[in-house]
Amino acid sequence: MATYNYVEPTNSNLVCCICRAPFVDPVTTQACSHTFCRGCISEALEHSLQCPVDRLPLTPEDLTSAGPLIRSLVDELLVSCPNNDCPHVCQRDLLQGHLDACEFLIVDCPEQSCHQMVVRKDAVNGACIHSAVICSECYAEVAMSEYEAHSSTCPDSACSCEHCATEISKSTIELHGETCERAPVVCTHAPNGCSWKGERRLRDGHISSCPYEAIKGFFIIHKDTTAALKEENALLQAKIDALQGHLRATTRDLQVAKAALGPWYTNAVNRTEAGLPIHHPPRSRAPTSASLNPATSPQPPLPGPRASISTLGSDAPNPAPASVTPTHVNATPGPSNTSHDWRAHSSRPSPNISHNWDPSSLTARSIARDVVAPIDLGTSLEGSLHGLRESMVTLSTTVDSVGRRSEIALTNETVRLNEEVMSVRAHLHGLRMQVHAIMMDRNTQVTGRVDEGGGITEGAWIPTRFSQVPGQPQIPLSITKL
């Protein structure tokens, strides 16, 4: 016996290191005391005459049977029967005894003419199980080996009704159960609540006295009504579902629209209230712009944001040029100004210009603020866009006019400055001429004096000579030496 099916894992000390299975007929080497199966070590020695574990020289004569302790340990290992379907488990040394009697051992069919195999337990009665037999009930041909299975399911086999004890065939028993007089049944009004139970033959007697029988007509009507109501209910339920879906879709759309509109979105309920605080800011801003810009005429109280756009768009550009133009006229110096005035002029124009330009620029800024900011949330988005477009047009016109104005002002200023520069140049020329004349005069005097032989009084003379010239700026001393 070469293979065993060990039921449990084996202690590794009982395993042959050549076949890795528990020892079978264990032998031990005399020299090194290693144990192997007899079959394994004999084969190994045919290949190489040395111990597989430590490679010491070894011959078959050096092997002795292992001690009884090892033999009994491996013989007592539990193995299962190798035959299919056999559940037998026993000690290894007892397996051979079991195999001799195992019912699941495959043997030849006892019938000489049959060449098939059969498990031993089916061969004990000496008959060939492969030969066909005829079912005594349904007269079908069935193999002997399948006869038992067939007879339990044969439709024609007889059985008795469990209620009336009548003998009937298996195939008709279900049919009989529906009509059997003694079969237990419930009242026909059981669905309505009657709790009567009894044999079928007694039911007719019960029904004549059944309280539910009296109101049989009501049950029919009731049933119809309930069915109609149920149907209607289902219809309504479907409608509700559809409407809920619609509502959900609409809510989603509304939220999307709300998100898209942003601050434009106001509820119909609080739209009128929301209008008030928005009307407020321009009204509070109006006085500040008026105080900053005294040149502009005080604005009338604004009736509403829409009105403020139109009033500012039309009014604001008008006062600004009015305030600018006169100052320009004042500031522009005449070309015929005397030389005495130019010093004062040099400082005057710049503050004047800044004074005149500041308010106008502020006005422009306040216009811009008032035109854009008061978006009327009371109107529709379209109306607001229209209003915004209008104010945009106004704004561009304003910017245009302001640009033109500033251009005119710049031209005026440039002309004025040019003229002033010209006059200053003329002055300067006059002065140069004067100084030249004086220098010439003095040179002639000095040369005359030097010729007389006196250079000592020169220092004292110059101041007195210069002080006699009226309206002349003090000339530094260094210039005299030129």
Q: Is 2 in the site for other proteins (CB under 8 A)?
A: yes
Q: 55 with 3: CB under 8 angstroms?
A: no
> Is 7 or 450 the residue whose CB approaches other proteins more closely?
7
Q: 4 with 79: CB under 8 angstroms?
A: yes
Angle of helix 349-372 relative to helix 319-331, nearest 10 degrees, comes to 170
> Which span sits near other proteins by CB under 8 A: 14-22, 242-250, 260-268, 341-349?
14-22
Closest distance of CB 76 from other proteins, Å: 21
> Is 16 or 187 the residue whose CB approaches other proteins more closely?
16
Site string for other proteins, 284-303 (x = CB under 8 A): --------------------
> Is 19 or 408 the residue whose CB approaches other proteins more closely?
19
Closest distance of CB 69 from other proteins, Å: 23
Dihedral (Cα; 174, 176, 178, 179), 10-degree rounding: 180
> Is 22 or 374 the residue whose CB approaches other proteins more closely?
22
And the tokens for 260? 């898209």
Question: Cα–Cα distance between 125 and 132 in angstroms, integer?
Answer: 16
Instruction: State whether residue 184 is helix, strand or coil.
Output: strand
Closest distance of CB 178 from other proteins, Å: 60
Site string for other proteins, 18-57 (x = CB under 8 A): xxxx------------------x--xx-xxx-x-xx-x--
Closest distance of CB 104 from other proteins, Å: 18
Distances (CA, A) of 320 to 62, 290, 294, 403: 133, 12, 11, 12
Closest distance of CB 97 from other proteins, Å: 21
Closest distance of CB 66 from other proteins, Å: 17
DSSP code string of 182-219? TSEEE-TTGGGT---EEEHHHHHHHHHH-HHHHTHHHH
> Is 104 or 461 the residue whose CB approaches other proteins more closely?
104
Closest distance of CB 79 from other proteins, Å: 15
Question: Cα–Cα distance between 179 and 242 in angstroms, integer?
Answer: 50
> Is 53 or 274 the residue whose CB approaches other proteins more closely?
53
Q: Is 7 in the site for other proteins (CB under 8 A)?
A: no
Closest distance of CB 40 from other proteins, Å: 7
Q: Give the count of beta carbons closer than 10 Å to the beta carbon of residue 372.
A: 13
Instruction: State whether residue 197 is helix, strand or coil.
Output: strand
Burial of residue 3 (CB within 10 Å: 0-12, 13-18, 19+) is exposed
1, 7, 17, 469: which one binds other proteins (CB under 8 A): 17
Element (H, E) at 77: none
Closest distance of CB 18 from other proteins, Å: 4
Q: Is 81 in the site for other proteins (CB under 8 A)?
A: no
Q: 375 with 282: CB under 8 angstroms?
A: no
Contacts for 255 with CB less than 8 Å, ≥ 6 apart = none
Q: Is 3 in the site for other proteins (CB under 8 A)?
A: yes
Q: 127 with 111: CB under 8 angstroms?
A: yes
Closest distance of CB 48 from other proteins, Å: 8
> Which span sits near other proteins by CB under 8 A: 12-20, 290-298, 398-406, 458-466?
12-20
Question: Cα–Cα distance between 236 and 75 in angstroms, integer?
Answer: 82
- Please, which contacts does 60-69 make with residues 24 or more away whose CB atoms are closer than 8 Å? 62/29, 62/30, 62/31, 63/27, 63/28, 63/29, 63/30, 63/38, 64/27, 64/28, 64/30, 65/25, 65/26, 65/27, 65/28, 66/23, 66/26, 66/27, 66/28, 66/35, 67/28
Closest distance of CB 51 from other proteins, Å: 8
> Is 3 or 195 the residue whose CB approaches other proteins more closely?
3
Closest CA relative to residue 309, chosen from 402, 372, 364, 231: 372
Which residues, 126 to 185, sit near other proteins by CB under 8 A?
none
Site string for other proteins, 406-425 (x = CB under 8 A): --------------------
> Is 37 or 309 the residue whose CB approaches other proteins more closely?
37
Q: Is 84 in the site for other proteins (CB under 8 A)?
A: no
> Which span sits near other proteins by CB under 8 A: 16-24, 325-333, 350-358, 432-440?
16-24
> Is 1 or 261 the residue whose CB approaches other proteins more closely?
1
Under the rule (CB under 8 A), what is the footprint of other proteins? Answer: 2-3, 17-21, 40, 43-44, 46-48, 50, 52-53, 55
